[in-house]
A and B are shown apart, each in its own frame.
Chain A
Amino acid sequence: MRELRVTPIKNGTVIDHIPAGLALKVLKILGIGDAVTSTVTVAMHVPSQAMGWKDIVKVEDRELGGRELDKIALIAPTSTVNVIRNYNVAEKRPLALPDRAVGILRCANPNCISNVREPIESSFVVRSKSPLRVVCKYCDRELEDIVSHIL
């Protein structure tokens, strides 16, 4: 029998089928740093029948939703997100790239009004999903390096 590298979790979220190498970026999106109160398991470069290699992130006692899913959809749209309750998959949360990315990216243009102290959220229009291309709603500029501008 194949040995499980990552043990099942009781409650929480499993993000599977992350393209190999992107697990740490997913952790960044989820804001997983020093102030985490539950266990986070990361498996990188795991063999996968479908993908060749993949990454997996398991976050215990936390169910992801809303903007967190939108952010993951931006960088790793092929990932699967399963909510686990009492060791069972209670919900599969589909990842769908929204037509607008609101409040999840920062405009790279330092002279854009969205980078000034104003009571607005950043907003990007998704011009193309594959390859991913987004344009700032305010200054009209295309964001080049999307991953490093995730808020």
Chain B
Amino acid sequence: MSSFRGRDVLSIRDFTPADIQLVLRTARKMVPIAVGEKRSRSLEGKILSTLFYEPSTRTRLSFESAMARLGGRALGFSSAEGTSVQKGETLADTIRMVEAYSDAIVLRHPHEGAARLAAEFTEKPVLNAGDGAGQHPTQTLLDLYTIWDEKGSFEGQSVTLVGDLKYGRTVHSLAYALAELGAHLTFVSPPTLEMPPEILEQVKEKGLSFRAAHRLEEVIRDTDVLYVTRIQKERFPDPQEYEKVAGSYRVDMDVLRDAKRGLIIMHPLPRVTEIAPEVDRTKHAVYFKQAFNAVPVRMALLDLILGEGA
């Protein structure tokens, strides 16, 4: 029996490299079911609650799709409006109630640590679908799956994370996991949006070297995976300053002139202007595939946690 049965998914730190590999291998087997070529009834009769206290269309729909593809059902809400939350119900009470209605709970919540709290109030598995500026482990797993699926391994891959590395929660968890899996990391950001020191400390603890740069052109030549994130306008008090900074991290054909032939470009989406549309047509662009990967990866997790074979 897998160690996944009934398990919570709260933070990527709870996953060992072996756990991650198991999720990735299971996800690959799920692809034919995720695209509708094969059918599965492995979660028939199971119910997944999706509690979204703030909207996230992509995450919620891919969880619901994953559950449906495996023969299960999903129920829930997509914003706190109109629920008992508005009447002042605590998260703890909502979880105790929902526990009685479903076999597993997916939670997106505006407060950091909400998923950990939820897990303390239920025996049913809790899957963290983003808690404030905190963790979003299933996003990290689908990012890892995309790299593994495209490149075949993590060890020795040169992964460059570019954009807002200070506030972007996906890049923090991803940096941690990639360091654990043996990738070489490069961080490219404006000076005001650099990777926080505690994340750098964790990467160092893994015994890995990393480098930091302010310009994409300096590092594109030896990058295997380019992970682009959005630089949010609201981080800059001066709109002109934003335009200047955002423009200098834009990935376009000019920047890609010196890129490796096998370079892949990823983005958690939605993107604004950080990747030029003409890049979509190159073989480097895998961000739409990455968005699709959300389904097989979430199927893998649900099947490992809830499935009979688990």
Find residues 93-137 in chain A having any chain B CB closer than 8 Å to their own CB. Answer: 109, 111-114, 116-120, 136-137
Partner of A111, one of B92, B111, B120: B111
Asked if residues A113 and B112 are in contact (CB atoms below 8 Å), the reply is yes
Asked if residues B113 and A119 are in contact (CB atoms below 8 Å), the reply is no
CA distance A41 to B131 in the complex (A): 47
Is A87 part of the binding interface, using a Cβ–Cβ cutoff of 8 Å?
no
Asked if residues B112 and A138 are in contact (CB atoms below 8 Å), the reply is yes
Asked if residues B91 and A140 are in contact (CB atoms below 8 Å), the reply is no
Task: Please indicate which of the listed interface residues A109, A111, A137 has the most CB atoms of chain B within 10 Å of its own CB.
Answer: A111
Question: When each residue 126-160 of chain B gets 1 if its CB lies under 8 Å from chain A and 0 otherwise, what string results?
Answer: 00000111110000000000000000000000000
Is A6 part of the binding interface, using a Cβ–Cβ cutoff of 8 Å?
no
Find residues 51-93 in chain B having any chain A CB closer than 8 Å to their own CB. Answer: 90-92
Interface size on B, as a range, is 10 to 19
Asked if residues B135 and A140 are in contact (CB atoms below 8 Å), the reply is yes
- Return B3 CB to nearest CB of chain A, in Å: 22
B221 surroundings in chain A (CB, below 8 A): none
Asked if residues A118 and B91 are in contact (CB atoms below 8 Å), the reply is yes
CA distance A37 to B109 in the complex (A): 45
Write the chain B residue with the least CB distance to A140.
B134
Asked if residues B111 and A140 are in contact (CB atoms below 8 Å), the reply is no
Is B116 part of the binding interface, using a Cβ–Cβ cutoff of 8 Å?
yes
Write the chain B residue with the least CB distance to A139.
B112
Is A142 part of the binding interface, using a Cβ–Cβ cutoff of 8 Å?
yes
Is B110 part of the binding interface, using a Cβ–Cβ cutoff of 8 Å?
yes
Asked if residues A120 and B92 are in contact (CB atoms below 8 Å), the reply is yes
Is B299 part of the binding interface, using a Cβ–Cβ cutoff of 8 Å?
no
Find residues 18-48 in chain A having any chain B CB closer than 8 Å to their own CB. Answer: none
Is B212 part of the binding interface, using a Cβ–Cβ cutoff of 8 Å?
no
Task: Please indicate which of the listed interface residues B109, B116, B131, B132 has the most CB atoms of chain A within 10 Å of its own CB.
Answer: B116
Q: Which A residues are within 8 Å of any B CB, using their own CB?
A: 109, 111-114, 116-120, 136-142
